[in-house]
């Protein structure tokens, strides 16, 4: 018996493709994952929020071990501290660099002690501020090689985008006893990078995954489809106790933060059970987009 591709994929990934009549125009498919409806538009709105959300600091806080959140309400930035200086992941927009600096200082650290600057992918809301951070700190800027061309086109105020070291998939970055691994999770951009590392808390190691966006573009070309097919497999295989992301909503940061310091509550960011949550949403949407573009092709 032949089954439509959209139905087969929906069953395979626990997602119901609702169709144009319920999910908006044809170019905007909708999926239901764990009882919640998502469309490309609502996912983007969830990630970005308002202009104020993108530029207003969220309360800087310790996530786990030597990892701290220093970003805004909707744009993640992480400070990883070491005795030999610090690592910053995601400068976000250039206008946010002073906001990040203030958050770093509120935690008791010096912004100028940042020695390495990394990013998750070559979009302005994550890496536009790289040149300013380098100017202010002298940090070494490292990026996945596949994202370098896009980064070099990112020139706020005419400033050249600094690239001190080009990374390959699986390469490590080390400072002061902390080692991060760069994992290529391409699709959202050619060099989208998920960072993995171990953090110690109460004498126990935890695997931390700082994910790049897994959101597919509105139009899926064969090369992008191939990248995402690889990315979802790679991402799901990563050891993970603490799921983080380049947008706080990807890991329910604000809800988890509300539990910090409550009596009898363990670290809310340790949530291994939720490591696949964002991948489930984004892969369901990816499959729905493929089915929609196929125009009702049948599975064989």
Domain of residue 20 covers: 3-299
- Please state whether the predicted TM-score (pTM) of the whole model is above 0.85: yes
Residue 182 dihedral angles phi and psi, to the nearest 5°:
-90, 115
CATH number of the domain bearing residue 29: 3.60.15.10
- The residues near 11 (Cβ < 8 Å, ≥ 6 apart) are none
Distance CA 12, CA 10 (A): 5
* Strand ranges inside the chain, DSSP E: 3-4, 16-17, 31-33, 36-38, 61-64, 67-69, 78-82, 85-89, 114-118, 140-144, 165-167, 172-175, 178-184, 193-201, 204-211, 242-245, 298-299
Strand partners, 144: 167
101-125 per-position pLDDT tens digit: 999 999 999 999 999 999 999 999 9
Residue 19, classed as helix, strand or coil, is coil
205-231 per-position pLDDT tens digit: 999 999 999 999 988 999 999 999 999
**Structure tokens given for 294:** 């196929």
Other Cβ atoms closer than 10 A to 194:
24
**Structure tokens given for 24:** 């908006």
So what's the pLDDT on residue 57? Answer: 98
How far, rounded to the nearest angstrom, does the alpha carbon of residue 166 sit from its chain's CA centroid?
A: 19
So what's the pLDDT on residue 168? Answer: 98
So what's the pLDDT on residue 77? Answer: 98
Do 180 and 66 touch, CB atoms closer than 8 A?
no
Q: Classify residue 156 as exposed, middle or buried by CB count within 10 Å of its CB (0-12, 13-18, 19+).
A: middle
Secondary structure percentages of the chain, helix, strand, coil, to 5:
35, 25, 40
Number of folded domains that form the chain: 1
Distance CA 200, CA 50 (A): 35
Flag residues of the chain having pLDDT under 70.
1-27, 296-300
Do 157 and 183 touch, CB atoms closer than 8 A?
no
DSSP conformation class of 215: P
Q: Classify residue 295 as exposed, middle or buried by CB count within 10 Å of its CB (0-12, 13-18, 19+).
A: exposed
- The residues near 225 (Cβ < 8 Å, ≥ 6 apart) are 290
Distance CA 233, CA 276 (A): 11
């Amino acid at each position: 018996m032949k089954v439509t591709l959209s139905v087969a994929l929906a069953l395979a990934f626990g997602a119901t493709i609702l169709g144009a009549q319920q999910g908006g125009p044809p170019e905007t498919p909708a999926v239901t994952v764990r009882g919640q409806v998502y469309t490309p538009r609502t996912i983007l709105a969830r990630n970005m929020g308002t202009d104020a959300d993108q530029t207003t600091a969220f309360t800087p806080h310790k996530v786990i071990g030597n990892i701290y959140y220093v970003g805004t309400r909707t744009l993640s930035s992480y400070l990883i501290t070491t005795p030999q200086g610090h690592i910053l992941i995601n400068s976000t927009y250039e206008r946010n660099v002073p906001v990040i600096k203030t958050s770093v200082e509120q935690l008791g650290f010096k912004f100028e002690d940042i020695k390495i600057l990394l990013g998750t992918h070559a979009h302005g809301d994550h890496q536009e501020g790289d040149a300013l951070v380098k100017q202010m700190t002298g940090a070494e800027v490292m990026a996945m090689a596949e994202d370098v061309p896009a980064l070099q086109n990112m020139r706020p105020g005419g400033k050249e985008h600094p690239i001190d070291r080009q990374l390959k998939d699986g390469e490590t970055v080390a400072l002061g006893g902390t080692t991060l691994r760069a994992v290529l999770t391409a699709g959202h951009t050619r060099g989208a990078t998920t960072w993995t590392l171990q953090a110690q808390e109460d004498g126990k190691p935890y695997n931390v995954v700082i994910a790049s966006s897994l959101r597919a573009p509105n139009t899926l070309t064969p090369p992008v489809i191939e990248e995402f097919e690889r990315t979802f497999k790679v991402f799901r295989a990563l050891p993970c106790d603490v799921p983080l992301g380049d947008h706080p909503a990807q890991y329910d940061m604000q809800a988890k933060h509300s539990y910090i310091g409550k009596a009898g509550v363990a670290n809310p960011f340790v949530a291994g059970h939720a490591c696949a949550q964002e991948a489930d949403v984004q892969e369901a949407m990816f499959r729905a987009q493929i089915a929609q573009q196929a125009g009702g092709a049948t599975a064989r």
